[in-house]
Structure 1
Amino acid sequence: MKFNHKEVILFDLDGTLIDSVPDLAAAVNHMLEVLNRESFTEETIRYWVGNGAQMLVKRALSGQTEVDETLDQSLFENALELFLKFYGQNLSHRTIAYPNVPATLHALKEKGYRLVIVTNKPFDFVVPILKGLKLDGVFDFWVGGDSLEKKKPDPLPLLHACEHMNVSVEQCVMVGDSKNDLLAAGTCGMQSVGVTYGYNYGEDIRIYNPTYIINDFSELNALL
């Protein structure tokens, strides 16, 4: 089986197209060190990625996935500023595209699909990373985590992308690595592809009922 009548493919960024954890972890630990707080391993921080910069910072300050609701607001704001400044200056030092991502994206574009990024990453970071990986010419549009009043798992970013691209939900498919992507797609009735690698908080992506599941990004070619 494969998808029919699709025109636009929406992609998550972190954990789906790119592994950005090494650079995110460096920024998190820089922030914590400046604040004289305990730093964490890259693997620990990997479980905190996927809900945007603010949640990542709150999890780092809490030292766990569940955010400490008693966090001091001024501490959080200072920490967020430290994180964003450092990360903004070190976006692509160790961030890489996952295997077969560039070739598959170019192949899909050559087939006539229009490609869109819908990420929870701050908007201003998207283009520099794409340029660093030489993927900036592939996408028609992108939505950041701070582009709208809500982000994934809310369906608003997906619906906004559909409206901007002048297509229906049925003409699109969402490709992502986490429950945020699949819950957003499911809520608005969009078909989806879940990738088994990436950042899904240690959960099996199958729990969230994607239309299809792939283990390697190149498998999209057979579905579209």
Structure 2
Amino acid sequence: MVNSVQFPLRIEAVVIDLDGTLLHTAPDLAEAANRMLADLGMPPVPEETLKSYIGNGVAQLIKRTLTGEMYGEPDSELFARAKPIYEKNYDEVVSLYSRPFPGVVEGLQALKAAGYHLACITNKAARFTLPLLKDTGLHDYFELILSGDTLPKMKPDPLPLLHAAEFFGVAIDRMLLIGDSQNDAQAARAAGCHVFCVPYGYNHGQDVNNLDLDAVVDNLVAASKLICKA
């Protein structure tokens, strides 16, 4: 569901999700997950299935991988063994296959050139976020990077968005979140900021056209054309 809004939106700051929006990280997340399963003596899981598990942080990804369920709870002892194994494996492959989606670099360049404040807000832990952004050449586009463990709460809680607005000194309704999932839509609506979603990301296999959004955009370049400086 796309809201009826007047374009171009008057915006001062743009905050962007990482996995599924900026970067195609599913191959590396799947590689780490399957290495973890192998280390635990468990069978591998197809990448497409693991792709549907992305979006709520590392702990939830591990639980879904172990149980095969979106909200399953594995044996606590198994989870305690699995988590450091997954993290070690993901440290090793964090940027092995991950690459920017088409239009990302061009979109970031356009947004930067237009003078918008830029932030990356992700549920990925900082130990993975920062090397990944640096390895893929995206780190220096952002004035602010908020990972899943930077603040006490992460998306879909509005706290990271409210923190970004305060950091930039902008009104929340002059900020735009570009994401790929229900997490992003819920966080934006709870915070009171605008939200666009791209259709190519990791929304648990669901169509983003059914979310409460201001627009579905093909990529970051298309997003840049629907906003103007406030």
Instruction: Please classify the TM superposition score into its range, dividing by the shorter chain length.
Output: over 0.9
Q: Taking structure 2 as the reference length, what is the TM-score of the superposition?
A: 0.93
- 1:212 matched to 2:207? The reply is no
Greater mean alpha carbon deviation, residues 161-170 or residues 37-46:
161-170
1:169-188 equivalence runs, <5 A:
169-188=172-191
Aligned-pair CA distance for 1:7 = 1.0
Q: Does residue 105 of the first structure (1) align with residue 92 of the second (2)? A: no
Query: Matches of 2:154 and 2:67 in 1, distance apart?
Result: 22
Q: SS of the residue aligned with 1:121?
A: coil
Which residue in 1 is equivalent to 2:60?
Answer: 55
AA aligned to 1:38 is P
Give the aligned partner of residue 3 of structure 2: none
- SS of aligned partner of 1:137: helix
Secondary structure at the aligned position of 2:10 is classed as coil
Q: Bigger shift: 161-170 or 192-201? A: 161-170
Structure 2: how far apart are the matches of 1:164 and 1:95?
Answer: 29
Say yes or no: does 1:20 pair with 2:25.
yes
Stretches of structure 2 lacking an aligned partner (at least 5 in a row) = 1-5
| C-alpha displacement of 1:203 | 1.4
d(CA) in 2 for partners of 1:195, 1:146: 24
TM-score, normalising length from structure 1?
Answer: 0.95
* Higher RCO, Cα 8 Å, sep 6+: 2
1:44 to 34, 37, 49: 49
1:222 maps to a residue whose letter is K
Q: Which amino acid aligns with 1:150?
A: K
Partner of residue 118, structure 2: 115
What is the CA deviation profile of residues 12-48 of structure 1, one whole-angstrom value per residue up to 9, with x for unaligned ones?
Answer: 0000010100000000001011011121111110000
- Write out per-residue CA displacement over residues 76-108 of structure 1, whole angstroms, 9 at most, x where no aligned residue: 122111111110121111001000101110111
What is the deviation of 1:64? 2.5
Contact 1:17 1:97 in 2 (8 A): yes
Corresponding residue pairs, total: 222
Residue 145 of structure 1 is aligned with which of 143, 148, 163?
148
Using the alignment, how far apart are the partners of 1:2 and 1:129 within structure 2? Answer: 33
Are 2:8 and 2:225, in contact at CA under 8 Å, matched by a contact in 1? Answer: no
**Structure 1 unmatched runs, 5+:** none
For residue 54 of structure 2, what is the amino acid of its counterpart? V
Query: How far 1:215 moved relative to its partner?
Result: 2.0
Q: Which runs of 4+ in 1 moved over 6 A?
A: none
- Is the 1:2–1:222 contact (alpha carbons within 8 Å) kept by the matching residues of 2? no
